[in-house]
Amino acid sequence: MANQLTIHSGQPLIGQCRVPGDKSISHRAVIFGSIAEGRTRIRNFLNGHDCFATVAVMRALGVRIDERSATELVVNGVGLNGLQEPEDVLDCANSGTTIRLMTGLLAGQPFASVLTGSEQIRRRPMGRIATPLRQMGARIVGRQDGKLAPLSIAPADLQAIDYAMPVASAQVKSCVLLAGLYAHGLTIVREPGPARDHTERMLMAMGAPIEVMGSTVHGERPQRPLRPLDITVPGDISSAAFLLAAGALTPGSNLTITDVGINPTRIGIVDALAEMGAAIQYKSRTEQGGEPTANLVITTSELRGTTFGGEQIVTMIDELPTLAVVATQAAGRTIIRDAGELRVKEVDRIEATVTELKKLGARIVGTEDGFVIDGPTPLYGAVVDSHGDHRLAMALTVAALIAKGSTTIYNAHVTADSFPGFEATLRALGAVIQEIG
């Protein structure tokens, strides 16, 4: 894995490619498969650092997980009540999904556990999960009154709650629903916006008593064991987004990305690019593991500035740094608002995106909850930094592909957190990228 990338612009991106399996679905397949009864087989598993943090945590809880190949796992589920007390602190590395979902799963177990992670993880807000879990009776202690990891969880008998989430977050929703599997009574989660629904889809497919009514989800303790799954994880639309953006921006491009998940709670970026004028098409729609998929085709397009906000934001929250890059090439002003959540991602993605894109010459201003970007603005190669954030590293690579001359990105190894093979995929499509270190 390269610690430093140098990208030379000027080549069109042409051809067909795949992206690795969806990160959110890969985490869930391992966690839910662990508490099913029997063997769950996961193909096209995302073999990135974040998902392997989940694998390591489940192994530490006594679950045998066999690696059949780099992207195929067999999880030997131990049943709802079969997890074992871990011998040591559970390390969630850099993965927010791991720590937030696992806290929900562990809150109702009859043993103690401690969850921690990287320096980045230990800075990210955990009060959003500790608060509803404590309302359920969970005994969670963390730094700053449970707002920061490490989180220490003592055995507890949980009661269901009716919880209206203050922010639209799939991690919070999933955390509460997982705790609800071990609680007495009916757990109700009310969402302020359409956060990704992979948890609901997968748990329902496994036979869990989960019911979705518009923006309200009900869940309760299963009366029967969860059924193991045989699932092929769809390609991650959040990874495809970098290629879509690069395809729209790089002159002369024509790209097809095959087998991408197009769950309606995830396609905000496709809609946004189309609203800006991108020539983007869905082809060969089908379904994989209870999730809709399609091939996505994009060609270079003339783009116009557009305003984005409201409910669309949660459906493309991870893609907003990339959308900001796209907006630098759109005619007129693009405004992205209602995206304050970006400030509590791996890094403050508003500040980091603005800082780095300005080095390339972008006209971008950060606001409390988003960006204002004026375009089209020529970008010029420069030296930039990922701030240790995988999505920023890849968004900057997209910017570098259209910046005149060459651009060097420091701390680029983090691309493998969610998109192992990112550089090789771009190279196969025609990009000129050198990796160092």
Size of the site for ligand S3P (CB under 6 A): 10
Within 13 Å, how many C-alpha atoms sit on residue 125's CB side? 14
> Residue 432 belongs to what H/E stretch?
strand 432-436
170 is a contact residue toward ligand S3P (CB under 6 A): yes
Smallest distance, Å, CB 406 to ligand S3P?
30
Token reading at 258: 């095959």
Characterize the bridge pairing of strands 162-164 and 158-159: unpaired
Kindly state whether residue 50 participates in binding ligand S3P, applying the rule CB under 6 A. Answer: no
Return the range that interacts with ligand S3P (CB under 6 A); candidates 169-177, 211-219, 255-263, 278-286: 169-177
**Residue (197 or 259) nearer to ligand S3P, CB:** 197
The residue from 94, 97, 187, 408 that contacts ligand S3P (CB under 6 A) is 97
Question: Rounded distance, CA 221 to CA 157, Å?
Answer: 12
Is 265 a binding residue for ligand S3P by CB under 6 A? The answer is no
H or E, element range at 132 = helix 127-135
Residue from the set 11, 120, 171, 415 that interacts with ligand S3P by CB under 6 A: 171
Per-residue x/- marks for ligand S3P, 323-342, CB under 6 A? ------------------x-
Residue 318 bears catalytic tag: yes
> Binding to ligand S3P by residue 176, rule CB under 6 A?
no
Residue 179 near residue 136 (C-beta atoms within 8 A): yes
Nearer to ligand S3P, 171 or 353 (CB): 171
What's the rounded Cα separation, in Å, for the pair 296 and 288?
A: 15
Distance CA 407, CA 227 (A): 49
Q: How far is the CB of 309 from ligand S3P (least distance, A)?
A: 16
Q: Maximum CA pair distance of the chain?
A: 62
Q: Does 312 bind ligand S3P (CB under 6 A)?
A: no
Q: C-beta of 74: minimal distance to ligand S3P in Å? A: 22
Q: Tokens in use for 175?
A: 């955390």
Q: Which element (helix H / strand E) includes 139?
A: strand 139-142
- Within 8 A by CB and 6+ apart from 356, the residues are 384, 385, 387, 392, 396
Strands 210-213 and 216-219 come out as: antiparallel
Is 317 a binder of ligand S3P (CB under 6 A)? yes
* Catalytic position from the list 91, 318, 385, 417: 318
In the complex, what is the shortest distance from the CB of residue 258 to ligand S3P, in angstroms, rounded to a whole number?
Answer: 22
If you ran DSSP here, which 8-state letter would residue 382 be given? -
Which CB, 345 or 359, lies closer to ligand S3P? 345
Give the other-Cβ count within 10 Å of 119's Cβ.
8
Q: Could you tell me the smallest distance in angstroms from the CB atom of residue 128 to ligand S3P?
A: 8
Q: Residues 356 to 395: which contact ligand S3P by CB under 6 A?
A: none
Nearer to ligand S3P, 24 or 295 (CB): 24
Q: Report the helix count and the strand count for the chain, using DSSP H and E.
A: 13, 26
Of 194-253, binders to ligand S3P (CB under 6 A) are: 196
Nearer to ligand S3P, 9 or 98 (CB): 98
Secondary structure E strands in 300-405: 307-308, 332-336, 363-367, 370-375, 383-385
Residue showing tokens 């991106």? 13
Q: By C-beta, is 27 or 359 nearer to ligand S3P?
A: 27
Least distance CB 301 / ligand S3P (angstroms): 26
Give whole-number Cα distances, 22 to 19, 62, 356, 409, in Å.
9, 25, 27, 25
Q: Is 169 in the site for ligand S3P (CB under 6 A)?
A: yes
Between 30 and 431, name the residue whose CB sits nearer to ligand S3P: 30
Q: Which is nearer to ligand S3P, 13 or 195 (CB)?
A: 195
Of the listed pieces 108-116, 165-173, 323-331, 349-357, which binds ligand S3P according to CB under 6 A? 165-173
- Smallest separation, CB 387 to ligand S3P (Å): 16
Q: Give the Cα separation of 402 and 434 in Å (integer).
A: 16
**Shortest distance, CB of residue 392 to ligand S3P, whole angstroms?**
13
Residue found under tokens 């499509």:
429
Query: Considering Cα of 186, then 187, then 192, then 193, what sign does the dihedral take?
Result: negative
Of residues 94 and 425, the one with the C-beta less far from ligand S3P: 94
- Tell the smallest beta-carbon distance from residue 156 to ligand S3P (Å): 23
103 sits near ligand S3P (criterion: CB under 6 A): no
Which of 70, 75, 17, 16 has the alpha carbon at shortest distance from 44? Answer: 70
Of 24, 34, 239, 253, the residue at the interface with ligand S3P (CB under 6 A) is: 24
Distance of CA 122 to the CA centre of its chain: 18
- Interface residues with ligand S3P (CB under 6 A)? 24, 97, 169-171, 174, 196, 317-318, 341
Catalytic residues: 318
